[in-house]
Amino acid sequence: MPARILSGIAIRDQIYAELTQEIADLSGAGIRPGLAAILVGENAASQIYVRSKIAACEQLGLGSWQLTPPATITTEELLALVAELNARDDVDGILVQLPLPAQVDTKRVLEAVDPAKDVDGFHPVNLGRLVSGRAGLVACTPAGSMEILRRSSIPMEGTEAVVVGRSDIVGKPMALLLMHANATVTICHSKTRDLPGVVRRADIVIAAIGRAAMIEPDWVRPGATVIDVGINRITDAEEAGRIFTNFPAKLAQFKEKGFVLVGDVHPGVAEVAGTMTPVPGGVGPLTIAMLMSNTVKAARQRRAQEQAPSSAHRNGKTTGAAAVKR
Ligand code: GUN
């Protein structure tokens, strides 16, 4: 029986409906959450991503600013830009689109972002909060993958979860989130011995390696849930022919457009898995939805923190941050 396909678009729409209500409530209180995106240079993929993020802000009625310094920017200049955004009261979220040019010290820049405005969840303070299980701003792609699992009622407690890929942005935070959901988590990487054998143990597979169609059908335990985080653009006809031998619609798409998108999971896995996310239209839409959600959350939490001293003074006790809804 073919896998149940989990539409990220439907789940994104659900999240947007909830956010719309929350944004309206904040607006009633005179608050308009705002996101500032720094896009350095002219990287075509980054331009597309940032455009989609700004469009999502506009769709939801959030404030948005796009800053586009040249590719020749120095670390010091970028640090100054981040400091300016940290200081601005109308900016709730700051996003530095990666990758940055080689001359820029990426770690220093990411660490300069105010953790309260770090809507990408890349700052060591937010990573540390995630490690210790305290609510902070969580990286958008892993957070979105968890939303798919939760909102599709996929059981996690007590299951074997295998995360393929150990990046700071996806693999590591994903493993922590699954562990906090009481799954037994294995992280695999390029040096893992018998990778197919390890993946075959999993009730839940998270594919986040960045290699087209790498997870083969015979790696997957029948009935498993497979979350495909990868998005790879195939422009080579031979490769497209190999991956999509039994998928004439995809081959027709390749012929028409000259490229086709595929995840890190081979499309044939849909015949083995119980549940699977598609590419495109799976995890991708959730990444931006969680960025919007983090921006709203950052706005709420920052206001709550600002109000905490005065309300504590008024009530004679500490309120505010502790009362923040998550
Ligand atoms: N580059 C690729 N993915 C991301 C992301 O999620 N956030 C940022 N800032 N840059 C990226």
The residue with greater pLDDT, 223 or 135, is: 223
Q: 272 CA distance to ligand 1 centroid (A)?
A: 31
Tell whether 45 and 98 lie within a shared domain.
Answer: yes
Residue nearest to atom 3 of ligand 1 (CA): 98
Report the 10 Å Cβ neighbour count for 16: 18
Range of the domain at 102: 28-115
- The finding on whether 95 has its CB within 6 A of some atom of ligand 1 is yes
Mean pLDDT within 317-322: 38
Shortest-distance atom of ligand 1 to CA 291: 6
Give residues with Cβ within 8 angstroms of 165, minimum separation 6: 171, 188, 189, 206, 207, 208, 209, 210, 229, 264
Q: 98 CA distance to ligand 1 centroid (A)?
A: 5
- The finding on whether 277 has its CB within 6 A of some atom of ligand 1 is no
Q: Is 250 a catalytic residue?
A: no
Does residue 162 lie within any of the structural domains?
A: yes
From 92, 120, 228, 264, active-site residue: 120
Does residue 11 lie within any of the structural domains?
A: no
Q: Using pLDDT thresholds of 50, 70 and 90, give the confidence band for residue 135.
A: confident
Tens-digit pLDDT profile for residues 191-234: 999 999 999 999 999 999 999 999 999 999 999 999 999 999 99
Beta bridge partners of 186: 162
CATH number for 250:
3.40.50.720
Tens-digit pLDDT profile for residues 57-110: 999 999 999 999 999 999 999 999 999 999 999 999 999 999 999 999 999 999
Q: Is 53 a catalytic residue?
A: yes
Q: Is 168 a catalytic residue?
A: no
Tell whether 227 and 169 lie within a shared domain.
Answer: yes
Does residue 144 lie within any of the structural domains?
A: no
Does residue 130 lie within any of the structural domains?
A: no
**Token output for 9:** 């678009």
Tell whether 174 and 262 lie within a shared domain.
Answer: yes
Number of domains in the chain: 2
Q: 155 CA distance to ligand 1 centroid (A)?
A: 28
Give residues with Cβ within 8 angstroms of 156, minimum separation 6: 149, 178, 181, 182, 183, 204
Going by DSSP bridges, is the β-strand pair 232-234/260-262 parallel, antiparallel, or unpaired? antiparallel
Last residue in a domain, options 250, 265, 281:
281
Last residue in a domain, options 115, 142, 173:
115
DSSP state of 274: S
- Which of 67, 85, 97, 104 has most ligand 1 atoms within 8 Å of CB, for mutation? 97
Cα–Cα distance, 266 to 147 (Å, whole number): 23
Do the Cβ atoms of 284 and 134 come closer than 8 Å?
no
Give residues with Cβ within 8 angstroms of 181, minimum separation 6: 146, 149, 156, 157
Q: 285 CA distance to ligand 1 centroid (A)?
A: 14
CATH number for 60:
3.40.50.10860
Last residue in a domain, options 115, 141, 170:
115
Label residue 123 left, alpha or beta by phi (over 0 means left) and psi (-120 to 50 means alpha).
beta
Identify the H or E element spanning 21.
Answer: helix 8-28
